[in-house]
């Protein structure tokens, strides 16, 4: 029983070498992982807050709570922002709730002369990202002013580390893209391999071996997931060679494997019902987009989990990965239950 299963796995992995689409997608990922440092520099060059302010600066209304003599309002006005001063925090919160200002800054000073800057942002991720991008420069200038006012000298040329923007790009975009793109390809591969057997009428011949329909589908899913995890392992190694530090590598790989299993099983389930390649691929693409959106909405996104694992977040661990493993197990059991439809 194990030999026919491995024979199907070997057959599917060999067929990948003849699929130009999959080979091209792997080469693209290889390029991204191999030259992630150069890609990072190129992508960050697209961040141009001055251009944004040139066209929409007057429309960005920012409230400020504090003394009129404080230099922060002036620094923000020089940046091109529209500033509205507020005498108290309650007034700023009221204006913020009425959408009179997009965001506001509260920088109270305690009895020891320490200033704690608090930035209140709207719920919209797009607007919040824009405001953070354009406000960071005046906040840095204000920080330098406070240091100089207290006689603290900082030599910025001696500081080590990467800017926050590069950190966000690497762990929120680059790593999740490289870890999950093979999973998306694995789902598409599962559809192709299953529907090919149905459309070419070779399913009965394949099942003439001592292999059940469930075993045949499982072998195809294993081959797709195996190929995905090989890619993820290679990408992790290349990212490390590019100087990108990744924490919890084992859990990152396990999460990538589980997500590849989820996509492959979901795709195989759709192929078992529709038994048509084009319709199955279309439905799979729609469900993939919907799944990513819904998971983000309910704050259980695998992208967020992977980013936190890679960063080394103390509150994200294997239990978070097990949540997706349970989903994978449920989908696999559902697939085994309905796999007999392929025999009709």
pTM (two decimals): 0.61
Write down which residue in 133, 158, 183 finishes a domain: 158
User: What are 176-216's pLDDT values in tens digits?
Assistant: 888 888 888 888 888 888 888 777 776 666 666 666 777 88
**Is 172 found in the same domain as 25?**
yes
User: What are 222-270's pLDDT values in tens digits?
Assistant: 888 998 898 899 888 888 887 788 899 999 999 999 999 999 999 888 8
Q: What angle do CA 316, 320, 322 make, to 5 degrees?
A: 145
> What number is the average pLDDT over the span 145-154?
77
| Contact criterion met (CB below 8 Å) for 92 and 106 | yes
Q: What is the DSSP letter of 160?
A: -
Write down which residue in 104, 129, 158 finishes a domain: 158
How many domains does the chain contain in total? 2
What does the alpha-carbon distance between residue 178 and residue 242 come to, in Å, rounded to a whole number?
Answer: 14
What does the alpha-carbon distance between residue 35 and residue 173 come to, in Å, rounded to a whole number?
Answer: 15
pLDDT for res 143:
83
pLDDT for res 20:
63
| Contact criterion met (CB below 8 Å) for 104 and 82 | no
pLDDT at 1 over 60: no
**Is 19 found in the same domain as 139?**
no
**Is 248 found in the same domain as 115?**
no
**Is 55 found in the same domain as 203?**
no
- Domain of residue 332: give its range: 2-42+162-343
**Is 301 found in the same domain as 168?**
yes
**Is 117 found in the same domain as 148?**
yes
**Is 85 found in the same domain as 190?**
no
> What number is the average pLDDT over the span 35-63?
54
Question: Which of 191, 194, 214, 184 has its CA nearest to residue 333?
Answer: 214
pLDDT at 98 over 80: yes
Task: Describe the crossing of helices 175-199 and 302-311 by its angle, rounded to 10 degrees.
Answer: 140
**Is 24 found in the same domain as 56?**
no
**Is 253 found in the same domain as 213?**
yes
CATH assignment at residue 147 = 3.40.190.10
How remote is the C-alpha of 131 from its chain's centroid? 21
Write down which residue in 104, 124, 158 finishes a domain: 158
| Contact criterion met (CB below 8 Å) for 191 and 281 | yes
**Is 206 found in the same domain as 151?**
no
**Is 177 found in the same domain as 132?**
no
**Is 326 found in the same domain as 183?**
yes
């Amino acid at each position: 029983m194990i030999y026919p299963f491995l024979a199907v796995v070997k057959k599917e992995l060999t067929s990948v070498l003849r699929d130009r689409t999959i080979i091209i997608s792997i080469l693209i990922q290889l390029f991204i992982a191999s030259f992630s440092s150069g890609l990072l520099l190129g992508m960050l060059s697209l961040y141009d807050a001055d251009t944004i302010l040139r066209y929409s600066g007057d429309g960005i209304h920012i409230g400020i709570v504090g003394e009129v003599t404080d230099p922060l309002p002036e620094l923000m006005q020089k940046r091109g922002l529209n500033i509205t001063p507020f005498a108290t925090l309650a007034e700023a919160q009221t204006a913020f709730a009425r959408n009179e200002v997009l965001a506001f800054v509260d920088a109270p000073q305690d009895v020891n002369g320490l200033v704690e800057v608090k930035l209140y942002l709207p719920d919209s991720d797009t607007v919040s990202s824009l405001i953070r991008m354009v406000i960071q420069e005046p906040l840095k200038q204000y920080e330098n002013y406070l240091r100089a006012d207290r006689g603290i000298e900082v030599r910025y040329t001696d500081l080590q580390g990467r800017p926050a923007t590069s950190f966000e790009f690497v762990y929120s975009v680059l790593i999740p893209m490289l870890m999950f793109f093979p999973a998306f390809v694995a789902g598409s591969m599962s559809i192709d391999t299953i529907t090919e057997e149905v459309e070419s009428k070779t399913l009965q011949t394949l099942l003439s071996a001592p292999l059940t329909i469930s075993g045949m589908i499982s072998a195809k899913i294993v081959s797709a997931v195996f190929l995905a995890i090989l890619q993820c392992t290679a990408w992790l190694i290349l990212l490390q060679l590019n100087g990108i530090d990744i924490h919890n590598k084992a859990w990152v790989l396990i999460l990538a494997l589980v997500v590849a299993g989820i996509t492959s099983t979901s795709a195989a389930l759709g192929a078992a019902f529709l038994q048509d390649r084009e319709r199955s691929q279309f439905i799979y693409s729609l469900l993939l987009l919907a799944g990513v959106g819904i998971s983000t909405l309910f704050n259980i996104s695998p992208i967020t989990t992977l980013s936190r694992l890679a960063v080394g977040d103390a509150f994200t661990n294997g239990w978070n990965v097990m949540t997706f493993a349970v989903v994978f197990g449920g989908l696999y059991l559902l697939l085994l239950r309905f796999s007999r439809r392929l025999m009709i």
